[in-house]
Every structure is written in C-alpha cells, then in structure tokens.
A and B are shown apart, each in its own frame.
Chain A
Amino acid sequence: MSKIWSALFIIGVLVSLIGGHGGEIMGTLTESAGSAVTLCLTLAGAYVLWLGLMGIAERSGLTQSLAKKLRPILRFLFPGVPDGHAAQALISMNLSANILGMGNAATPFGLEAMQEMQKLNRAPKRATNAMCMLLIVNASSIQLVPTTVISLRAAAGAANPADIVPATIAATFVTTLVAIVIGKVLEKYS
C-alpha cells in the first residue's frame, strides 16, 4: 500500500508540474482532502444508523442466528475465525448487507469485523488469510440488487432500469467464485 500510495502521489505531482498545471496542485490536494472529510461525514450518518440497528440485532440474538445459518460458508471462507467468535457474526452481517446492495451498511459491519479479526491476529501488522478473504469478497462485490447502477439507469431514461439485474446476478456470482478461488490459491504463497 505504501508503494502504491507514494507512486500515485509522486507521479501525480510530477506530471502536473511537467504538464504546466503546477499552479493547480495545491488546489487539487486541498479539494481532495476536503472531499474525504465530506465523505466521512456522510459515512458517519450511515454508521450511526446501521451500527445502532445492529446493536438491537445483537442483543435480540438475530446476528448470532444469522451467523449460525451461514456457518458452512464461513468455515470454508474464513477457517481462521472460530465458530461462535464475534467476528463470525459481523462477517455474516457484512456479507448479507453486501448481497442486499446496502453498501452503506456493509462498510461499518466490515470494519467491525476487521477489528474482531485483528484480535485473532498474532502479527498485527500483517493481514491474516481471513482478512484478505473478506476484502477479496467485498472487492468482487456480491450484491444482488445493484442499487446505484439501477438509479443511474433510471436517471438516464432507461426503458426498464432494472433489466440488467439477472445478468448482474449471474456475473457477480461467477466473478465472486473466481475471486474466492484465486484468493484461496494465492494465500498459500504470500
């Protein structure tokens, strides 16, 4: 991450200078930093809502029973997370929110899951296999209802904005399987 980040940063500044946009560098940097803060405020709203509701679901036993139902999948994908561990419930919440296209809810659950998985990590600077798998599954996107795309299609005047749903479900299913297989293979060599 350190290499990728510094490469983006340094190349960005150098190319701006060479291209004669040197004067705009500070503006771009400040604007990006500002948009990060704006994004965090938006996220804060979503986190308050979803972590609040999860507080209820945790105490009523809903998250644990969801985790129990998903246990076969969780055991296969995240063998490093023991049955009944708090991370298991959070991972199932994250996966379910993703599947339902609730991106705003998936993130706080995922971050809480990372927090719990870090407690199982013996080398805190190094990602565990389970953490990598959670990221790989999240990055491949497993949503059944692509809410953002549907609303953009509706805005663009599509005859039937949701007609891409079956193709997206098929695509997302196959791509997630591909991602899981590649993740399982590569985790042995990294």
Chain B
Amino acid sequence: MSAVTLIGALLVPALIVLVVVHGLIKGVDVYQAFIDGAKRALPTVARVLPYIAAITIAVGIFRASGALDAVLSVVAPPFEALGIPREVLPLELLRPFSGSASNALLQDVFMQYGPDSDVGRLASVLMGSSETLFYTVALYFGSVGVTKTRHTISASLIAEFFSVILIVNFVKYFF
C-alpha cells in the first residue's frame, strides 16, 4: 500500500474521531447531538427518493433501448477529431448520465488496456475529475422543489467539454 492510499484510508476515520473528541472538549452532549443530527437523515432520503427514481428510470430505459449507444456513435466522430481517443470516449460521454455505467466502462478499459496503460491512466483522470451531472441536478434541485435550473446544466456541460480537451492534451506530462 502506498503512502497516498494509506493516508486516504486513514484520513476520514481520523476526522471522525476528531469531531467526537472536539465535541467532548467543548462540553457537548455528543450522544444526543448525534441522535438529533441523524434524525434528519430519513426525511431527507424520503424527500429525494422520487427524484432519484425518476432519473434512474429514464436513464435506464434510454440505455437499455440502445438509444444511448446510437447517440454516442453519432456524436463520437467530432469528439475524435478533437483528439479524444476512441477508447475513452464512451466513458466520457456516459459520465454525466450514470455513475455505475461509467464505472463499469472504466473497468472495461482496465481489462482491455490495463490500468497502467496511457489509455487506462487517461480514463482514470477523466473519471476522477467529473461527476454524474444529471443525477446530481435531479437530486439537489428536486429536494427543494426547484424546477427552473437555469444555466446549471449548460454551464456544467460546457465546462466538462473544455476540461476533457485540456486533460487529454496535458495528462501525458504527469507520467
């Protein structure tokens, strides 16, 4: 296990201990405070379930029907022209829609090319620097009943586009 992995594994448990100890030092009834905080969990989950279900169902049927693959094959050539390797393209295009699907594609890339290949590393960096946009938007805005999301999706997709081009061109200098 390398130092970075080890720090990553120990950091969060250490933070948790720190929060509890700090609470005790400050004279907080930590048990009651934990209970009061945790009470908010189930109402939050109950509030977001319909939104998570709506987006999961729509993305699910869109993927299973083969429509997603069709869209990907149509939009692929212009992206390839910009220098984004064909191997990581499906992964990148799927990323905004589904976390589990893009994780599965990342595993495919590792299986086919190996995690230490150029393509494997590029895919890793791409995955580590973006999120499942549509799911996050549905969840966050859904939880407060906001329907007009304004520039959130367009700004995120434009940013994602520029970011991919930057990463594809500069990642090789790190290895």
Contact = CB atoms under 8 A, between A and B. Distances in A.
Given A9-B57, A44-B45, A125 B128 contact: no
A100 B8 CA distance: 8
- Interface range for A: 35 or more
B74 interface: no
A102 B37 CA distance: 18
Interface residues of B, number: 99
11 contacts: A1-B149, A9-B62, A19-B66, A35-B60, A39-B56, A53-B34, A100-B11, A146-B127, A153-B115, A156-B120, A182-B159
Interface string A30-73: 01110111011001100111011111111111100000000000
B137 interface: yes
A139 B137 contact: yes
A21 B63 CA distance: 12
Contact of A132 (B12, B23, B35, B151): B151
4 smallest CB-CB distances across A and B, nearest first, come from A55-B37, A32-B60, A146-B128, A12-B61
B147 A161 contact: no
What's the dominant secondary structure at chain B's contact region? helix
Contacts of B22: 57, 60, 62
Contacts of B133: 139
A175 B67 contact: no
A112 B146 contact: no
Contact of A35 (B49, B56, B114, B152): B56
Interface of A: 1-2, 4-5, 8-9, 11-16, 19, 21, 24-25, 28-29, 31-33, 35-37, 39-40, 43-44, 47-49, 51-62, 100-102, 107-108, 110-112, 114-115, 117-118, 121, 124-127, 131-132, 134-136, 138-141, 143, 145-150, 152-168, 170-172, 174-175, 178-179, 182-183, 186-187, 189-190
